Amino acid sequence: MPDPRNKRRAAGEPVSLGMLPGLVGYQVRLAQMAIFTDFDRALGALELSPGLFGLLVIVEANPGLKQSRLAGAARLDRSSLVPALNKLEARGLVTRRDAPGDRRAYGLHLTAAGVALLARAKRAVRRHEARLAAGLGEGKRDLLIALLSGIFRDRR
């Protein structure tokens, strides 16, 4: 026998989300989806994902950083990092140079094109962040960052 609730749902009645709205992980995932959508609108023309942007920022802040240290800082495993670096290198944004004192390792550096693109990206990200913060209300951005960073503070 058909469930009469299905008829009501098909007629446009809202679908119950059960316990989901009260879960931190569910709310973080919804926020992440909204943030990534806005990030893509802000930086899509530059062809930078949040992950690639993050790698460029870390390399800029640490010229000559070894790939293994970048992977740790970005919380990526080598199988994820290498294809991302290959993309950045193919676009002429990053170079790999022999690291001093260790011929088995490469130091990472931004190219002039990488520096220029990252400068444009940072301006776009600042506008993106301002849009996100505007939805939080006065002074809540720093609180949100502190709360979120506290979730995994002991697991790094």
pLDDT score for 138: 79
Task: With respect to residue 35, please indicate whether it lies within any of the assigned structural domains.
Answer: no
**In the chain, how many domains are there?**
1
Rounded CA Rg of the chain: 21
Residue 88 scores a pLDDT above 80? yes
Task: With respect to residue 113, please indicate whether it lies within any of the assigned structural domains.
Answer: yes
One-letter amino acid at 78 equals: R
Task: With respect to residue 21, please indicate whether it lies within any of the assigned structural domains.
Answer: no
Give per-residue pLDDT as tens, 102-138.
Answer: 667 789 999 999 999 999 999 999 999 999 889 888 7
Residue 48 scores a pLDDT above 60? yes
Task: With respect to residue 12, please indicate whether it lies within any of the assigned structural domains.
Answer: no
Residue 77 scores a pLDDT above 60? yes
Residue 6 scores a pLDDT above 80? no
Task: With respect to residue 120, please indicate whether it lies within any of the assigned structural domains.
Answer: yes
Residues 94 and 67 sit within 8 Å (Cβ to Cβ): no
Task: With respect to residue 95, please indicate whether it lies within any of the assigned structural domains.
Answer: yes
User: Which CATH number characterizes residue 84's domain?
Assistant: 1.10.10.10
Residues 84 and 55 sit within 8 Å (Cβ to Cβ): yes
Task: With respect to residue 78, please indicate whether it lies within any of the assigned structural domains.
Answer: yes
Give per-residue pLDDT as tens, 17-32.
Answer: 999 999 999 999 999 9
Triad 93, 77, 94: Cα angle to 5°: 10
pTM: 0.83
**Which of 155, 127, 125 has its CA nearest to residue 52?**
125
Question: Rounded to 5 degrees, what are φ and ψ at 49?
Answer: -85, 165
Domain of residue 68: give its range.
48-150
pLDDT score for 139: 82
Residue that is written with structure tokens 């301006």 in the block: 123
Task: With respect to residue 7, please indicate whether it lies within any of the assigned structural domains.
Answer: no
Long-range contacts from 35-41, C-beta under 8 angstroms, 24+ separation: 35/132, 38/128, 38/131, 38/132, 39/125, 39/128
